[in-house]
Amino acid sequence: MGTVATMPRISASTVREHHDLQREAILDAVGAILAQDGYDGVELAAVGHRVGLARTSLYRYARDKDELVAQWLERAFRPAMAEAQAVLGASDPPAERLATWLDGQLEFAAKPRDGAAARLMAEFDHLPESIQALVIDGHRPVRDALAATVTEALKDQPGREPALVLAFIDGIASAATRQAAGGVTPQLRAETRNAVRALLSKRR
């Protein structure tokens, strides 16, 4: 009587590892679609086509496209947010911390793999409220650290309004990061730093 062949057992750790690797591949596909076609291009069928999965299989990883985009956002911004908080919470003078934070924003904007983030931010006002809220919540700890750093930088300047100064710094950062999409030049870095230092300098 012949023996019955048995399937090799797959350990739980192997299954988990496979699931994690597949999830990373799915999020990579989401990022690629965001960079190329924006939020509207992220459809489950398009994501599945890129990773070789049926649409129904994607439901093991997310309920819908918004959850996929939310997962991608969390993965994409987590390292940058942690680094920004560390920079702004350092013991350097506040003006230097802000300049270093801006350097990081420029480098982040210049990286090719962050094209999806840039595209998503450009479409921000047209995104679903749930995605907008996720982005805002994800940035809140950094916003709080920025506000505290600006307040510290202006503590010896009575009459200055930290919230207003922070709004101007936001404008500088926004303009500079748009320029950084073509690469971070020494001149761009220097002009950005100079603009922030001028904002923080004591008025005569």
What CATH number has the domain bearing residue 134?
1.10.357.10
Q: Residue range 120-142: average pLDDT?
A: 87
Contact status, residue 22 vs residue 16, Cβ threshold 8 Å:
no
Dihedral (Cα; 123, 109, 95, 135), 10-degree rounding: 40
Within-domain flag for 5: no
155-164 pLDDT, tens digit each: 999 999 999 9
Contact status, residue 81 vs residue 139, Cβ threshold 8 Å:
yes
Which of 22, 50, 24 is CA-nearest to residue 36? 50
Residues 6+ apart with CB under 8 A from 33: 41, 42, 46, 47, 50
Within-domain flag for 6: no
Within-domain flag for 90: yes
Counting the structural domains of the chain, the total is 1
Within-domain flag for 121: yes
Within-domain flag for 78: yes
Q: Helix, strand, coil proportions of the chain in percent (round to 5)?
A: 75, 0, 25
Which of 77, 92, 109, 89 is CA-nearest to residue 180? 109
Task: Give the rounded percent of residues in the chain with a pLDDT score beyond 70.
Answer: 92
Per-residue model confidence (pLDDT) at position 178: 84
Per-residue model confidence (pLDDT) at position 196: 93
Per-residue model confidence (pLDDT) at position 107: 86
Within-domain flag for 3: no
Q: Residue range 129-141: average pLDDT?
A: 88
Per-residue model confidence (pLDDT) at position 94: 94
Query: What band does 180 get if pLDDT is binned at 50, 70 and 90?
Result: confident
Half-sphere exposure of 144 (CA within 13 A, CB side): 9
Tell me which residue range forms the domain holding 95: 12-200
Burial (CB < 10 A; 0-12, 13-18, 19+), residue 20, is exposed
Within-domain flag for 7: no
Res. 145: pLDDT tops 90: yes
